Amino acid sequence: QRRPGAAQQLGQQAGALVRAGIAEQLTDHAAEGGRLVGTQRMRDALQGLLKAEGFATRAFASAEEFLESGHPRECACLITDIQMPGMSGLDIQARLNAEQIKLPIIFITAHGDSQMRMQALRAGAVEFLTKPFDDEVLVDSVRAALKS
């Protein structure tokens, strides 16, 4: 039986962009931690969940702030909502692909459909989760993404 957690409880709220990595596995990636963007409450919930599971994370208020930070090339894994103010998750994926920044991306969304899912996966996403999502599924997805 799966346990509901903070991220699942907040899963219906506005989304977040997260970059996370397990410290031991980040040594091969010049990364110091994770990246997280979205509503403050969702960022806090996801960051708490990922830190409790041994991931290092870093939060940003928007996709644009993340891109302008200079951290995308250091990123080990990115978690993004499809719908965010400004750039969408699919927009940030396209931008990273255009800049040849290859990193595993996990999408989370309350508004996705099969066409969006296929678009994201064809462009290289490793997972596409629908809100509300189970904490364990997200954590397992991040672990799998870091191994890819």
Q: pTM for this structure?
A: 0.75
Between residues 144 and 40, which one has the greater pLDDT?
144
Mind spelling out the 3-state secondary structure of the chain?
A: CCCCCHHHHHCCCCCEEEEEEEHHHHHHCCCCCCEEEECHHHHHHHHHHHHHCCEEEEEECCHHHHHHCCCHHHCCCEEEECCCCCCCHHHHHHHHHHCCCCCCEEEEECCCCHHHHHHHHHCCCCEEEECCCCHHHHHHHHHHHHHC
Q: For 27-56, how does the pLDDT look when each residue is reduced to its tens digit (9 = 90+)?
A: 222 233 455 545 778 788 888 999 999 998
Residue 21 pLDDT greater than 80, yes or no: no
